[in-house]
Amino acid sequence: MKSRTVYAMGIAVLAIAVPMAARASLGGNLSSVQDDQAKLQGALQTTSKDSYSIQTPNGITVREFVSPSGTVFGVAWQGRSHPDLRQVLGAYYAQYVQAVQAQRAQRRGHGPLLIQQPGLVVQMAGHMRSLTGKAYVPQSLPPGVRAEEIQ
């Protein structure tokens, strides 16, 4: 039990200490979409004036939602595996890791993940080779946009 705690703390420290190769995605500006495309090595497609889709070579689709002010307020993904969450969640990755560790300490087993904090919401579900997820910053949702639209 003690080794698990030390291991979890080590992961959290590394997540905070390791510099990111590209700018943050979630919470980043519009140019972070191109950074993500390069890091994920995927093909970028504009799906609407405020939504971009990146198709990775290993079959993951990442969608990024940009506010009129040019800030990425939400991301969603689906595919055989999860994308590089450090890249997709950007500056929110450390908060995500801490929330996952807290949740795992309270419950055992597998199942959908729901992190619902004032500054970050993350939902992940699925089964082997068919995974989905989304993350958004509630206070950054543009007027008229509902969280359910991030998918």
Q: What is the rounded average pLDDT for all residues in the chain?
A: 78
Q: Write the DSSP symbol of residue 56.
A: -
19-23, 63-67, 86-90, 139-143: the lowest-pLDDT one: 19-23
Tens-place pLDDT, residues 38-96: 777 676 766 766 778 888 888 888 888 988 888 899 999 999 989 889 989 999 999 99
Question: Quick one: DSSP state of residue 15?
Answer: H
Give pTM, 2 decimals.
Answer: 0.74
DSSP string, 81-134: S---HHHHHGGGHHHHHHHHHHHHHH--S---EEEEETTEEEEEEEETTEEEEE
DSSP code for 70: S
pLDDT over 70, % of the chain: 73
**Are 116 and 136 spatial neighbours (Cβ–Cβ below 8 Å)?**
no
The whole-angstrom separation of Cα 72 and Cα 129 is 27
Q: Residue 27 has which token pair?
A: 């919470």
The answer to whether residue 131 scores a pLDDT higher than 90 is yes
Higher pLDDT, 23 or 114: 114
**pLDDT given at position 9:** 39
Across residues 11-28, what is the average pLDDT? Answer: 46
